């Protein structure tokens, strides 16, 4: 009833209507603002900026700088001379310099992001450099004459000239005993070896061939079998990785060990190499002793 009286009375209805209309007009600008695409864009931008601030790496200190020294420049020029046997032109040197700066920038950025952590390639390279420094021959004292002669006696087989052998062969594959004997008799009678035997891609002759070369062609053990044969006679069967052969050895060079005096420099180099390896192992064991190594969580393979 009250509502009816208000709406029917013109003196009351107009002020009330105006009041309601006024309230609606005060809310309208806020509604328009929230519907504005520009506001949406600003809100999204603020969210993206905030997310980047959370995940972005810390900025470099303001004082960070890359200093290229005269030593760096000298190293660049030396590397260029070593490769091209001349000095770089100004343009080439600028390129070398820019490449060095690029390398340093990406190196620092990679470290900033922790890309050097848990990288197997980097770990292996650092290990190699450390081992190299530990095994440098310069770190090994000069050997005495007695030490060198003792090392020569222990290892002189390493300095001997390798054996070599020259031979002809006729390949028979898996020929029967009768066929084998027929070919052998023909060869001993002076028949042309090129006209006998089975077809093969194996060489019919090898000259002054060392063990590695012979065995890479005919298989392991073939060189030793040939070395036991008499010179100048067709003999067989000699078995290779491919089957049977009839072979004539034409020359054998036995290993000769040179004297200590002629091999002194090589003996010393070999001694330094061995001592360097020993020094490296001793240094590793000393470094290892500084750590407590726990492998209790490792389950041995069954």
| Residue 60 within a domain | no
**What pLDDT score was predicted for residue 257?**
83
Model pTM? 0.45
Domain boundaries, position 222: 161-253
Provide Rg for the chain, Cα atoms. Answer: 44
| Residue 59 within a domain | no
Residues 152 and 167 in one domain: no
279: left (phi over 0), alpha (psi -120 to 50) or beta: alpha
Residues 111 and 126 in one domain: no
Residues 125 and 238 in one domain: no
| Residue 301 within a domain | no
Residues 264 and 126 in one domain: yes
| Residue 5 within a domain | no
**What pLDDT score was predicted for residue 118?**
86
Residues 182 and 242 in one domain: yes
State how many domains the chain has.
4
Residues 204 and 248 in one domain: yes
Residues 46 and 187 in one domain: no
**What pLDDT score was predicted for residue 54?**
67
**Tens of pLDDT, residue by residue, the chain (302 residues):** 444 434 444 554 454 444 444 444 454 565 666 666 666 666 777 776 676 666 665 555 544 788 999 999 999 999 999 999 999 999 999 999 999 999 999 988 888 888 888 888 888 898 888 888 876 655 567 899 999 999 999 988 888 777 899 999 999 998 899 999 999 999 999 999 999 999 999 999 999 999 999 999 999 999 999 988 999 999 989 999 999 999 999 999 877 788 899 999 999 999 998 988 888 888 889 989 999 988 888 887 77
Residues 37 and 86 in one domain: no
Residues 42 and 182 in one domain: no
| Residue 274 within a domain | yes
Instruction: For residue 198, give the CATH number of its domain.
Output: 3.10.50.40
> What is d(CA 279, CA 269) in angstroms, rounded to the nearest whole number?
15
Residues 34 and 180 in one domain: no
Residues 78 and 46 in one domain: no
**What pLDDT score was predicted for residue 60?**
54
| Residue 36 within a domain | yes
| End-of-domain residue from the set 53, 78, 100 | 53
The pair of structure tokens assigned to 196 is 């006998």
| Residue 285 within a domain | yes
**What pLDDT score was predicted for residue 233?**
95
Residues 133 and 175 in one domain: no
**What pLDDT score was predicted for residue 140?**
64
């Amino acid at each position: 009833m009250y509502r009816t009286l208000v709406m029917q009375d013109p003196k009351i209805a107009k002020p009330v209507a105006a009041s309601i209309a006024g309230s609606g007009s005060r809310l309208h600008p806020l509604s328009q603002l929230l519907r504005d695409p520009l506001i949406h864009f600003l809100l999204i931008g603020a969210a993206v900026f905030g997310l980047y601030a959370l995940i972005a790496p810390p900025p470099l200190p303001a004082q960070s700088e890359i200093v290229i020294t005269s030593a760096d420049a000298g190293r660049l020029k030396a590397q260029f001379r070593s490769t091209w046997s001349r000095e770089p032109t100004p343009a080439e040197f600028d390129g070398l310099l820019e490449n060095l700066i690029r390398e340093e920038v990406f190196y620092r950025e990679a470290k900033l992001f922790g890309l050097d952590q848990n990288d197997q390639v980097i770990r292996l390279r650092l290990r190699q450099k450390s081992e190299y420094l530990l095994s440098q021959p310069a770190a090994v004292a000069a050997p005495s004459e007695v030490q060198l002669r003792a090392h020569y006696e222990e290892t002189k087989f390493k300095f001997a000239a390798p054996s070599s052998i020259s031979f002809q062969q006729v390949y028979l594959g898996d020929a029967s005993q009768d066929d084998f004997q027929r070919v052998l008799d023909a060869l001993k009678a002076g028949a042309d070896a090129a006209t006998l035997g089975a077809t093969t891609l194996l060489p019919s002759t090898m000259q002054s061939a060392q063990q590695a070369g012979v065995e890479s062609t005919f298989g392991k053990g073939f060189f030793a079998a040939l070395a036991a044969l008499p010179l100048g006679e067709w003999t067989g069967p000699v078995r290779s990785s491919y089957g049977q052969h009839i072979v004539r050895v034409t020359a054998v060079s036995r290993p000769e060990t040179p004297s200590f005096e002629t091999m002194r420099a090589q003996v010393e180099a070999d001694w330094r190499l061995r001592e360097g390896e020993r020094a490296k192992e001793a240094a590793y064991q000393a470094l290892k002793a500084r750590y407590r190594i726990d492998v209790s969580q490792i389950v041995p393979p069954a």
